[in-house]
Structure 1
Amino acid sequence: EAIYGIDLDGNCTFCNRSCIEMLGYNKQSELLGKNMHWQIHHTRRDGTPLPIHDCRIFKAFIKGEGSHVEDEVFWRADGTSFDAEYFSYPQIKNGEIIGAVITFMDISERRQKEAKIHYLSCYDTLTGDQNRRCFEENRNKIDIPDNLPLSVLFADINGLKMTNDIFGHSAGDELIRKSSEILRQVCRQNDVVARVGGDEFIILLPNTTGENAEKILTRIKSGFADAYFQAIKCSISLGLDTKRSQDQSLDEVMANAENAMYKDKTMNRKSINKDIIDTIIETLHEKHPGEKLHSITVSKFCSDVGTALHLPKTEINKLKRAGYLHDIGKIVL
């Protein structure tokens, strides 16, 4: 623990070896008699000056009180700073304050660990987007009159379960990361992107009309149109709503956006699944051209069997499709 003393003018009266080394000096004489505020406490973390009348060390001992501070920095001899925690106590002799004694320590490593813990508690480790907890805690900061109109986009990745089932969860994680990248590329710097579920994202768009939100939605869909991961064609279901007045509830607007997303997913479910499966089988055939001929042969054989059994045309078509796709699992081999 580093210790130094100051007189009523703030000049150093003593300092221990830890103090000298922690502040980057070589010997005691470099600090003795120097004003310690201007030597090590002159500037705030953000680079703005810290006037001596705002210094909590001086404020405390002038009042005859102790102080404990852990949100400031001290400055080393080489001009670099470090996070410091310090205790300041008035030094009293014959009933009068003659100065102060300050003990301090470098808490930079602790601050780094705290920052990491805060990041892990607030941000999704897979995508770097806000997680649900952080989103719920911070959304009121966005839900203010100055940000109206406030549009909300609700997004849900299509085909994640199929990706996990066919290629494994590591591939599913990559699909989530890829989708998050596309969303953030389209969004602006002050927009909020949060991953609030396994395959679900919420985007808050401050100062964005419904019309402009539609344009952003279109750009997102365009970003996914040509995006592929392994043999999966990336796609996403989207819904939006806009809060136009402070009387509207953000919860209600978010619910409307979520319902619109589910409507989009339901209406396009068949085509989405077909596109994903077709992309997988096309990739298999590109990698192994002989598999395509085999798929066509098996598909025709299934059709002939259905015809021989006098099945309805719809059932024969299902058999043909099943025959064509029967080796789709080979994509992972």
Structure 2
Amino acid sequence: MQVLVRAAIGVVGAFGLAVVGVVSLVLLDGDAQATGSSGTLTSVPEEFRPWIMRASHACEHAELAPALLAAQLQQESGFSTSSSLVSPAGAQGPAQFMPATWDTWGRDDDGNGTVSPYDVGDAVMAQGRMMCSLIGQAKKSGLSADIRSLALAGYNAGWGAVEDAGGIPPYPETQHYVATILASMKRFEGTPTEVSGSGTGVDAVRRASSQLGTPYSWGGGSPNGPTTGFCDGINGYLNGRCSASTTVGWDCSSLVQYAYWPNIHLPRTAADQYRATSDRTVSRDRLKVGDLLYWSHGGTSGIYHVAIYAGDGTVLHAPRTGKNVQTIPLSTAMPDGDYYGATRP
């Protein structure tokens, strides 16, 4: 394992967002990392997307794919954000938690000072924790049914009912619940991006590509997944308000760090990532998939953006506050006059 640790993982200086270009890459359903599931996601409301991705990545079981959580939310509430959503049985919020169950799984994940089943962040993260636990129970149970089906049945009817039935309980509601969610997962799976070949750089592109569509958040993101960021007096603001502190996402350098983790431990900021890899510079006409590209306002200390090259003249990146992680031609990713150079981790 290569290890590059030339700066603390904490916040030090300018943040950028990783740019990953795309050659022709097929994302794998499972993530090679032990820190959660992978996969692309589409057709979900923007306020749900980062939390679904975060909940998926927080689970050690690959079965908890983003599309599974999304399909479950669709079935539970249709992604409702109504502050008065209560089922006839008393279940509350977009993930439809009964009060006693919420007491077990609910936390203040969005950091707004309240623990509420009606807060999208709190609800989705609690859903993820509960589903992750149920998947773990299903794996240990020895039951022969599909792991996801057992976990969904446990969410709907209770794990005790699953154990008593020796599988999915014979309740029409539960059987319909499980079948509908599994059948609708495809709707939420993002269009795969394909990158051929193998190697550290290609693997980094694949890992970063799982975050396509996730919002930019200044100071947000870590090797474990997207997080809320912060504002520093200049960066992180949108329409005069601090957007980063309430947006779960990535900045440019945290996405690069995440893409290469844990095979290569890159530092946290764009400038430090350049310093850590500057002994392996690459000319623009010799770029390979996975190379890091930098833009600067003047010298190494002025580096303000980093991206990952994905081939065919493209990069994948989150350019700035208000935008999402995206693929875009290298020539238009940032002002061409600011291009500083490229390195190979």
Is the structural similarity TM-score above 0.5? no
Relative contact order, higher structure (CA 8 A, sep 6+): 2
Question: Larger C-alpha radius of gyration, 1 or 2?
Answer: 1
What TM-score, normalized to structure 2?
Answer: 0.18
